[in-house]
Amino acid sequence: MLFLDELFDTVSKFIDIGGNVLWFIAAALVVMWTLIIERMWYFSQAYPREARLMIAQWDAREDTTSWKAHRIREAWISQMTEKLNSKLLVIKTIVTICPMIGLLGTVTGMVSVFELMAIAGTGSARLLAAGISQATVPTMAGMVAALSGLFVSARLEYSANVRAHELADHMPHH
């Protein structure tokens, strides 16, 4: 329980420094990594079973050479490709949006700096430093969030394409 208290305090201090925009980045990060973990689970657990079943159904067919059989094969492979690519566009969109949310935090932080300058004048370096921190921390957080998902999403997309081609190779059309 002490660990959770310390973690909450650390996160609270970080959000105090960076502003409320960090909550949006955190929410995007949670959604993105939930989808990434779901895709990893699907690729490692559900897809292999589904692929084996589809290959067995194809092998059990008497007709694998006719025009109709080729269209059925294409449809099955297309359906499986759709399942493999499911949620990848959402993940890539969140990766793209994270830096934009960070830039929103930068803009709001700079507005705070300018408001402080208007109220307190330029002589209060301590107040300006807090505003500048609030302006730079969200940008950094948005970039880190995006980078954390960028490489994984590219790998998932590559893996989906490889699996789709392997499935097609295991369902020969003579």
Q: CA 130, 135, 138, 141: dihedral to nearest 10 degrees?
A: -80
Parts of the chain with a pLDDT under 50: none
Q: Is 164 inside any structural domain?
A: yes
pLDDT at 97: 96
pLDDT at 122: 63
pLDDT at 33: 97
Q: Is 28 inside any structural domain?
A: yes
pLDDT at 53: 96
Q: Is 91 inside any structural domain?
A: yes
Per the structure, how many domains does the chain have? 1
Q: Is 162 inside any structural domain?
A: yes
Q: Is 107 inside any structural domain?
A: yes
Range of the domain at 102: 2-169
pLDDT at 174: 64
pLDDT at 49: 97
Under 8 Å between Cβ of 19 and 104:
no
E strand or H helix at 139, and its extent? helix 125-169
Q: pTM, whole model, 2 decimals?
A: 0.84
Strand ranges (E), the chain? none
Q: Is 174 inside any structural domain?
A: no
Q: Is 139 inside any structural domain?
A: yes
